[in-house]
Structure 1
Amino acid sequence: MTDQSMLRGLSTQSPIALTVYGPDLRVRWINDVLQEQMGLTRSQCIGRYSTELLPQGMILSPGYTGVLEDVMAEVRDTGEPVFDVLYSSPTPADLSHQRIWSCSYFRLSAMDGSPLGVCESAFDITNRYEARLRVELLGRASRIGTSLDVVRTAQDLASVAVPDFADRVEVDLVKQVVAGDQPPPADGERGTSVRRVAERSAQVTSASVPSLGLLLSAETDGPRHLVLTLSARDILLGAVAFTRTVPRHPFTAQEVTLAKELVSRAAVCIDNARRYAREHTTALTLQRSLLPQVMPQPTAVEVAHRYVPTAGPLGVGGDWYDVIPLSGARVGFVVGDVVGHGLNAAATMGRLRTTVRALAALDLAPDELLARLDDLVGQARVGIHRTSSETPEDEALGATCLYAVHDPVTGTCTVASAGHPAPVVAMPGQPPDLLDLSVGPPLGIGGLPFECAEVGVPEGSVLAFYTDGLIESRRAGMDSGMASVRRTLADGASPREVDTGSCCYAASVIVSDCSSYSRSRA
């Protein structure tokens, strides 16, 4: 094989685009495949810089901030070859769509070693790069459904698809889905009422930014408008519409499959959010129905209360409280917290509250009441919580409870705790502080007796009962939460001014100060 035949093959038959640049980095020669890709003749290219031929071109490989002439100048000056530089640009043959090349450069030298120029070999990898963009888009789909909110999830889908996949996306959801109700089956009757919850549009994407639909493609006869159904678990959730406008190519068959995958992922996330919202609403309704609807107002004490359910992804908690009038003008105060969240926690809380009320009617001391409640929780067969073979332990196991009895005749308050934080006491002339209380184990654990603590509460004193959700924070420890409670009591419920209004104010301010905490708080 002669040198001439080899050069002829490289010039006319090679699938790799070849360009020879002179010492001044102007084009000296190109082969036939590059003429075809560029849409220019050899004579139109010779004597010009690459940036003149491809003014919208850009280097995609990391680590390069300049233009191709900078890369070639380094190769010319150092003699070190450079491989696999990704380069993107529309060509004069098609100014609306991009080609992606993998470019490599090596120096051409004379016999004495002096540089004659630089040779460029460029392989068109547009199809491969397009496949890479599809994979990256699927990777970004992990952003969909990071919140348990149906509208936010629909907006996530739109933000992932625009502008990288489509020029416009519209998401409609069945109204029952938005409301958290049960939507119709996927094969139900037509005419289902929907609501648009997300729409996103983009300006015509610049040809210098590689994205799906703006790369050179041989498949240009697909649809420009896709409407796909959002459905999961045989339930109709809504529909998604993807639209592409000129100059972006229509959707290819592979991109239709990709759109279906995105919609399928979004549908599962939307359905999860819908089910969470429905359970959260049900649990909250159940919990509020089990908590005191009207708080009694005994003659010897002024009572104020606040309850704020959790708004986080864990769902409604099992915090509860109660005020129980007793004989002899005495008053029982109860506050507790069930382990877990959701319907089970709310139901368990209701059963514990009912049991405490029944035991309080027996006129038991706080430590004895907690001992009996602990026995009932430890013996699931008694029925504090219905159990099955799959859940052999009572779900009330590990719940905390504090019971206090205030006697206005003696001016004392007797308190016992099963794993629950001690109350804060603010007496006239003294700063608010935690009651010195021996806290026993949570309910159902057993092993240690419960002990009572008795404290004198002269007229004008304030007792603050709470659950741990009030003092636990994601950003600070429980000590910081306790300091906030004491500070608010000192500032907002001065013992000199204790009445129903000031107690309500203190309760509101304490809960407001702890609004960043994630759990339910009573």
Structure 2
Amino acid sequence: MTTPESMPISAPTAVLVIDTRGDVIGWTPGAEELLGYSAAEVLNRSGALLIMPERAAAWDAGYGGQETWSGFAEFRHRDGTRILGHVEGTRLVTPGEEPAWLVAVTPATAGASGRACSWVEPLIRRTPVAMAIWDHDLRCVWLNTAAERLRTVFPWYRLGRSLAEPLPGTHTEAMQETARQVLASGVPHLDRETRWTSPDRREDRTLSTSLFRLEGVDGRSLGVCTLTMDISHSRSRDRLALLRDASVRIGSTLDVRKTAQELADLAVPVLADYVTVDLAESVFPHAEPLQRLAATEMSIPVFRRAGVASIHDGSPESLWPLGQAVFVPPSSPFTEVLSSGRAHFEPVLNTSSGTWLDQDPDRAAVIHDTGMHTLIIVPLQARGDILGVAVFVRTDNPEPFTRDDLILAEELGVRAALSLDNARQYTRERTATLALQRNLLPSNLTGGDAVDLVSHYLPSDAHDGVGGDWFDAIPLRDGRVALVVGDVTGHGINAAATMGRLRTAVRTLAYLGLPPDELLVHLDDLVVRLAEEDAGPDGFPDAAGATCLYAVYDPATRCCTMAAAGHPPPATVTPSGAVTFHRPPSGTPIGLGLGSYRSLDLELAEGSLIALYTDGLIETREADIEAGIDRLGGVLARAAALPLDKICRTVIRGMVGDTGAEDDVALLVARTR
């Protein structure tokens, strides 16, 4: 907004009269002098001719039930330029006994004497401090050029836009509250520091804002003025913010690839324009050994690319995609960092002939094409092992790396290395536990002539490792079959090992022909004895609890007898599709030494389904077990008509979805013959 050239240095107050229809019915010489319209051009025409469209709401707000009102508005001068004015309205009655408004408009740039300071506003608009004026509705009524430049991260810097207007991904509730406090109390609020991100997430700014109340000569509140400084480029502030973010964003999962990518994403563009994270093969337990890849005297495979980030779309600086082997010359900064364990710092990247780049023409070409000019390579070291390297490069940013940048990169490397090592240890233990558990679970289930069987085991994605869920089917004498599912307390290798012992014990007791309730009593007693034998140094037995459901189906009588030890109820589905959850008198979990169990007898029609499962299928953080049981009933009803080999996967997909299970899931489904 600029002051119109036609506005005289002495700009008097413009006085006009508006009727209830919004038409101008009174016009003074002062109004003509301020706005440039003659009386013949505006009388009996709508006042909308004079006010900018984006401020029409504020103009209309004046026609309320008050006797007086005031505020800011932007007017349109006859030559098309804008004028910010302070508006005061007073209700009056015309000679024709018709109600109307007497409106006085004073230019916002006018001083106390009423003279318009035409030289002041251009200076205000050119100041590097972002200035804006907001009315009582927190709607922007004026702003300078510096505020317009911040619109990419603070889109409310737009005439007519209210702070209360919701915009996707942004929140101004705190700023609204502060502005209303300033309006109410008149006490300024200084140096309110906030961080804003552009909607496309490409730009971050840290702004320091001070708020002041604007008052008229009579002391009435007119609005709020904000003065904002962009303090985003404070180096110390950025470094502290980056380290603070690193503690939250790096290592959010126990996945080495995600952790490496989090480091790369965090450092771009705050520290570097291009970052790669390359890890040694020991960090990837299932990857092809690098030693098997072809090597030459000029190039050897040393790493695998685990993370890459760039300010340029598609990362054109990267010669290798994620997951691929990274080749380096034997005598290069990369191998030097590996052997020494110390960072490589090259403020001005030496690309002249006679350097290691002579042995790496592909990398030299990329450096030349993308303008790489400064380099840091940091070892990712934890517990004495070098897990890989992080490479930091600048291309578009002309500033070379400094020693402070090196210290920051090393600190990021230390934090990332600890997270990577935790992820590596977890991955190793999880892999070993999964292998143990898969070996302990039955590989070929058979229901004999009694039932057809299908099963599925789904390990959880939780951080605490694989659990001790198991299932089994045990053919018995006289054509009967025993179906069992259980869940050992805890996670990890110990839980998997305990699961194996319990599965063996159940099979042994089942071969004795014990009914379900007696079998659980003996199993409870056995687990207590094993815990006592494995007591720790303090003499107290280690807790080794488990839940279990044991059922025996006899095809001759179509009778199914079952007993439960603290386990979720099994489900049956009739050939017509009716789902029932049977709740045998549930005793205490196995291993407490309080075993007292009772059996439940069911008669099942030929072709019925029996579904046994662990609580990971039905229990989530958001819903309790009963809600999960209701959901499972609906999923089973829809899946029952499918071929048996598709039922398990359909049920698990319907219950868990694509997000992964919060706990291990074991599901055993039998169809009676």
TM-score (norm 2): 0.55
Residue type of the alignment partner of 1:316? V
Contact 1:181 1:278 in 2 (8 A): no
Please name the residue that 2:610 is paired with: 463
Please name the residue that 1:227 is paired with: 377
In the TM superposition, what are the counterparts of 1:178-327 in structure 2 within 5 Å? 178-179=284-285, 193-202=302-311, 222=347, 224-245=374-395, 247-327=397-477
Residue type of the alignment partner of 1:163? P
2:254 maps to 1:148? yes
2:123 maps to 1:49? yes
- Is the partner of 1:304 in helix, strand or coil? strand
Alpha-carbon displacement from aligned partner over 1:409-447 (angstroms, at most 9, x marks no partner): 222111111111121122345721111310110012233
- Is the partner of 1:195 in helix, strand or coil? strand
Separation of aligned partners in 1, 2:443 and 2:512: 23
- Is the partner of 1:311 in helix, strand or coil? coil
- Between the two structures, name the one with larger relative contact order (CA 8 Å, sep ≥ 6): 1
Separation of aligned partners in 1, 2:395 and 2:347: 12
Of 331, 334, 348, 2:484 maps to 334
Residue type of the alignment partner of 2:254? L
Residue type of the alignment partner of 2:273? D
Separation of aligned partners in 1, 2:513 and 2:532: 21
Contact 1:102 1:125 in 2 (8 A): no
Of 631, 655, 661, 1:514 maps to 655
Separation of aligned partners in 2, 1:379 and 1:479: 34
Of 572, 589, 595, 1:442 maps to 589
Contact 2:577 2:640 in 1 (8 A): no
Contact 1:101 1:126 in 2 (8 A): no
Separation of aligned partners in 2, 1:24 and 1:191: 73
Deviation at 1:461, TM superposition (A): 2.1
Contact 1:180 1:275 in 2 (8 A): no
Q: Per the alignment, do residues 281 and 229 of structure 1 end up closer, same or farther by CA in structure 2, a change over 3 Å counting?
A: same
Deviation at 1:329, TM superposition (A): 0.9
Deviation at 1:300, TM superposition (A): 1.9
Residue type of the alignment partner of 2:487? D
Of 405, 425, 430, 2:552 maps to 405
- Is the partner of 1:310 in helix, strand or coil? coil
- Is the partner of 1:229 in helix, strand or coil? strand
Of 628, 648, 653, 1:481 maps to 628
Contact 1:376 1:382 in 2 (8 A): no
Contact 1:418 1:442 in 2 (8 A): yes
- Is the partner of 1:166 in helix, strand or coil? coil
Separation of aligned partners in 1, 2:131 and 2:389: 39
Q: Per the alignment, do residues 353 and 191 of structure 1 end up closer, same or farther by CA in structure 2, a change over 3 Å counting?
A: same
In the TM superposition, what are the counterparts of 1:54-65 in structure 2 within 5 Å? none
Contact 1:279 1:343 in 2 (8 A): yes
Please name the residue that 2:514 is paired with: 364
Deviation at 1:231, TM superposition (A): 1.1
Alpha-carbon displacement from aligned partner over 1:69-114 (angstroms, at most 9, x marks no partner): 99xxxxxxxx99997699xxxxxxxxxxxxx999999xxxxxxxxx
The CA RMSD over aligned residues, in Å, is 4.1
Separation of aligned partners in 2, 1:244 and 1:164: 11
2:244 maps to 1:139? yes
2:491 maps to 1:417? no
Deviation at 1:471, TM superposition (A): 1.1
Q: 5+ unaligned residues in a row in structure 2: which ranges?
A: 1-114, 133-137, 148-185, 194-206, 213-228, 291-298, 314-345, 349-373, 667-673
Q: Per the alignment, do residues 514 and 103 of structure 1 end up closer, same or farther by CA in structure 2, a change over 3 Å counting?
A: closer
- Is the partner of 2:452 in helix, strand or coil? coil
Q: Per the alignment, do residues 449 and 284 of structure 1 end up closer, same or farther by CA in structure 2, a change over 3 Å counting?
A: same
Deviation at 1:239, TM superposition (A): 0.4
Contact 2:521 2:595 in 1 (8 A): no
Alpha-carbon displacement from aligned partner over 1:342-384 (angstroms, at most 9, x marks no partner): 211111111110111111111111111111110121223565x
Q: Per the alignment, do residues 48 and 489 of structure 1 end up closer, same or farther by CA in structure 2, a change over 3 Å counting?
A: closer
- Is the partner of 1:270 in helix, strand or coil? helix
Separation of aligned partners in 2, 1:59 and 1:68: 8
Q: Per the alignment, do residues 391 and 318 of structure 1 end up closer, same or farther by CA in structure 2, a change over 3 Å counting?
A: farther
Please name the residue that 1:89 is paired with: none
Separation of aligned partners in 2, 1:380 and 1:435: 31
- Is the partner of 1:379 in helix, strand or coil? helix
Deviation at 1:180, TM superposition (A): 6.1
Deviation at 1:507, TM superposition (A): 2.2
May I ask how many residue pairs the two structures share in their alignment? 417
Deviation at 1:192, TM superposition (A): 6.6
Contact 2:446 2:452 in 1 (8 A): no
Separation of aligned partners in 2, 1:85 and 1:441: 58
Please name the residue that 2:536 is paired with: 388
- Is the partner of 2:432 in helix, strand or coil? helix
Separation of aligned partners in 1, 2:262 and 2:230: 34
Separation of aligned partners in 2, 1:327 and 1:183: 50
Deviation at 1:326, TM superposition (A): 0.8
Residue type of the alignment partner of 1:177? V
Contact 1:58 1:67 in 2 (8 A): yes
Query: Which is worse superposed, 271-280 or 511-520?
Result: 511-520
Q: Per the alignment, do residues 453 and 261 of structure 1 end up closer, same or farther by CA in structure 2, a change over 3 Å counting?
A: same
2:268 maps to 1:162? yes
Q: Per the alignment, do residues 364 and 80 of structure 1 end up closer, same or farther by CA in structure 2, a change over 3 Å counting?
A: closer
Residue type of the alignment partner of 2:406? V
Alpha-carbon displacement from aligned partner over 1:259-294 (angstroms, at most 9, x marks no partner): 111110011111111111111111111111000011
- Is the partner of 2:453 in helix, strand or coil? coil
Q: Per the alignment, do residues 49 and 319 of structure 1 end up closer, same or farther by CA in structure 2, a change over 3 Å counting?
A: same
Separation of aligned partners in 1, 2:188 and 2:591: 75
Separation of aligned partners in 1, 2:541 and 2:235: 55
Of 557, 568, 574, 1:427 maps to 574
Q: Per the alignment, do residues 295 and 80 of structure 1 end up closer, same or farther by CA in structure 2, a change over 3 Å counting?
A: closer
Separation of aligned partners in 2, 1:305 and 1:491: 18
Residue type of the alignment partner of 1:145? G
Contact 2:532 2:541 in 1 (8 A): no
Please name the residue that 1:171 is paired with: 277
Q: Per the alignment, do residues 58 and 268 of structure 1 end up closer, same or farther by CA in structure 2, a change over 3 Å counting?
A: farther
Contact 1:170 1:240 in 2 (8 A): yes
TM-score (norm 1): 0.70
Separation of aligned partners in 2, 1:286 and 1:392: 27
